[in-house]
Structure 1
Amino acid sequence: MERAAWEACADAHAARIDAYVEPHLARRGARVKHPVHDFLFTYYSQRPAQLRRWHPGYGVRLADAPAYDGLKGYADGAVTTTYVASQRPLLVALLRLLRATASRPANFGCFGMHEWAMVYRLSEEETRHADWPLRLGAAGTDAVVESHRIACSHFDAFRFFTPAAAPLNTLAPSSSDRPEFEQPGCLHAGMDLYKHAFRLTPLICSDLVADCFELARDIRVLDMRAAPYDLASLGFDPIAVETAAGKAEYAEAQRGFAERGAPLRAALIGECERLLAVATPQPAAVAGPSPLLAGSETT
């Protein structure tokens, strides 16, 4: 790819990401917390500067791009085959998880109770977002948890349940058995497509990473609108999942995100398969007998 072409791609990507990064950096400089929009920058390990940098992915060489040669995995303007091979364990693990998640039926009956279980039997001062009040108060929040069947399939949500809430979960996902539990209707599984994508950087094109980031950002809005916190002062109208109407609204939005995430998950699966074909050593060819010596069919 010639310099003019790849610079245009890099500039367009940076501009796309800056719409999200610049407000975050401004808040961070002012020491102002945002429980919704800061999440992707504080929970996940990808730094804003890393997210802003555009990569073409393995198989594309950037002409006249010496700045890339100092980056992880690059040489002479391209991601090296040696680096792809070094990432084989990651590719194998991600492919297994992504395939398992895609193959499982989506569950739209959790109603976002994971966020409620994270504050169960805590005072408002003890919650993760103590700067914002609980919409129903501590006692009202506890009553909602106790009146629902909790079925959280995502370990990275379940591990934040309070000690009192953890035994209420009908599932017991762990860090070692994610492929046995994760399902495509889960909001956190949808947000994690961003994590899976940036972990594949620079092996895949940054356009796919940005698509997954924007999906995760939109999912986070739903996640927190359905959470027990009152975020109306930030412009987020609550989804009252303790009511029948709120449950219906949540499940409909959840279905929309599952549909939106499916092609991104499929794209990540395709990239893992493509890269594993490069990363997996091929057995040496075994020479067969010469056709002229094979005998019976030769005249």
Structure 2
Amino acid sequence: MTTHAALTDQGVLAHDPWASREIAHQQRADAFTAGWRARKISGEQHPIDDFLFTYYSYKPSILRRWHPGAGVELADAAHMPRAEWKWYVPGEVPGSLRVDAAAYLRAKGAGVTAIRRILERTAARPGQFSCFGLHEWAMVYRQGEHRHEVPLRLGQKGTDAVVDTHSIQCSHFDAYRFFTPQAAPLNRMRPTRESAPELEQPGCLHAGMDVYKWTIKLGPLVPGEVLLDAFELARDIRWLDMAASPYDVSEWGAEPIAIETSEGKAEYVRRQRDFAERSNELRRRVINALDAAERAGR
């Protein structure tokens, strides 16, 4: 990837390289959102892939918009539609545009600081790999009605028995808050939104998916390639999340991971460790983008 290769010493990216990156970004984003856009027309639903568009509720058009990140001037861009985008201003080179990092940080500094803190603290913490995805099981424990209209692989009694015979160790508030009333007291911790920077750790699947959320919230400060990599990570994690859940999602192409067995636990942890590494690498890339924004905003 030619993220910095075509930059001049003054941080100017020539028109052809940045235009090529923009087109490649749009094509990749379109491929990621094609299924969702088609289902919006047909009325069909996909219990795995739809999550990234319903729970996070970000429009496909946001994914499609490429940014170079802070500290980069785009040559020959002043006559482009980008000139009307929020947070873009003329660069030092005539005809160029750049992200106004200083204005963005003045307007959204508190939020940026909070995002940096949770990314840095999560990445610095050792991963925990003993939850086995039981948060999804705790969301249907002893309940007749469920969030997804998908049958339970073991039935309600079998699902409840798995919860009863395991230790629930969920550190992520946005998963914990969907636990059933009977399951919530079984969790070994009581995460809150305020305690997230103190509890979140890279082994958590939901914390890994949230890297996408934080990247979206940082808008033009983060290069588009990082945004789409974060989306791809969230999508891949979601497939593991549902494959290891109590739901039978084999109809949608997800081979069940039976975490109630020793073999299933081993497979879950193997994939969980891989996602922890990928999510931490993305956290580092987002933090690097914030460093660049702070330098550009001085």
Report the counterpart of residue 109 of structure 2 in structure 1.
88
Q: Which runs of structure 2 are paired with 1:199-238 in the superposition (5 Å)?
A: 199-238=217-256
Structure-1 separation of matches of 2:272 and 2:131: 10
Report the counterpart of residue 183 of structure 1 in structure 2.
201
Whether 1:64 and 2:77 are equivalent positions in the alignment is yes
Query: SS in structure 2 opposite 1:34?
Result: coil
Structure-2 separation of matches of 1:277 and 1:151: 40
Structure-2 separation of matches of 1:219 and 1:268: 18
Q: Which runs of structure 2 are paired with 1:138-157 in the superposition (5 Å)?
A: 138-157=156-175
The CA deviation at 1:91 is: 1.8
Structure-2 separation of matches of 1:64 and 1:238: 49
Structure-1 separation of matches of 2:245 and 2:165: 16
Whether 1:129 and 2:158 are equivalent positions in the alignment is no
Q: Which runs of structure 2 are paired with 1:109-128 in the superposition (5 Å)?
A: 109-123=130-144, 126-128=145-147
| AA at the equivalent of 1:112 | G
**Structure 1 residue corresponding to 2:258, chosen from 240, 243, 246:** 240
Structure-1 separation of matches of 2:292 and 2:77: 26
Structure-2 separation of matches of 1:17 and 1:202: 16
Structure-2 separation of matches of 1:85 and 1:71: 18
| AA at the equivalent of 2:156 | A
Question: Is contact 1:225-1:239 (8 Å) kept?
Answer: yes
RMSD: 1.4
The CA deviation at 1:84 is: 3.1
The CA deviation at 1:278 is: 4.8
Deviations 1:163-216 (CA, angstroms, capped at 9, x unpaired): 111111111110111111000100011111111111111111111111111111
Query: SS in structure 2 opposite 1:87?
Result: helix
Report the counterpart of residue 192 of structure 1 in structure 2.
210
The CA deviation at 1:59 is: 1.6
| AA at the equivalent of 2:237 | I
| AA at the equivalent of 1:68 | R
Structure-2 separation of matches of 1:257 and 1:223: 11
CA radius of gyration, larger in: 1
Whether 1:35 and 2:47 are equivalent positions in the alignment is yes
| AA at the equivalent of 1:241 | I
Deviations 1:86-116 (CA, angstroms, capped at 9, x unpaired): 2211221111111111111100000000000
Structure-2 separation of matches of 1:219 and 1:167: 26
Structure-1 separation of matches of 2:51 and 2:285: 24
Whether 1:52 and 2:64 are equivalent positions in the alignment is yes
Query: SS in structure 2 opposite 1:202?
Result: helix
Structure-1 separation of matches of 2:43 and 2:108: 37
Question: Is contact 2:73-2:98 (8 Å) kept?
Answer: yes
Report the counterpart of residue 100 of structure 1 in structure 2.
121
Question: Percent identity, aligned pairs only?
Answer: 51
Question: Is contact 2:105-2:112 (8 Å) kept?
Answer: no
TM superposition score normalised by structure 2? 0.89
Q: Which runs of structure 2 are paired with 1:1-16 in the superposition (5 Å)?
A: 1-16=13-28
Report the counterpart of residue 25 of structure 1 in structure 2.
37
Whether 1:78 and 2:98 are equivalent positions in the alignment is yes
TM superposition score normalised by structure 1? 0.89
Question: Is contact 1:187-1:254 (8 Å) kept?
Answer: yes
Structure-2 separation of matches of 1:38 and 1:247: 26
Structure-2 separation of matches of 1:113 and 1:51: 30
Query: SS in structure 2 opposite 1:170?
Result: coil
The CA deviation at 1:273 is: 3.0
The CA deviation at 1:275 is: 2.5
Whether 1:174 and 2:192 are equivalent positions in the alignment is yes
Question: Is contact 2:211-2:230 (8 Å) kept?
Answer: yes
Deviations 1:4-44 (CA, angstroms, capped at 9, x unpaired): 33221111001111112111100111111101111111111
Report the counterpart of residue 291 of structure 1 in structure 2.
none
Q: Which runs of 5+ in 2 are unaligned?
A: 1-12, 91-96
Gap change, CA 1:277 and 1:104, over 3 Å in 2: same
How many residues in Structure 1 have an aligned counterpart in Structure 2?
A: 277
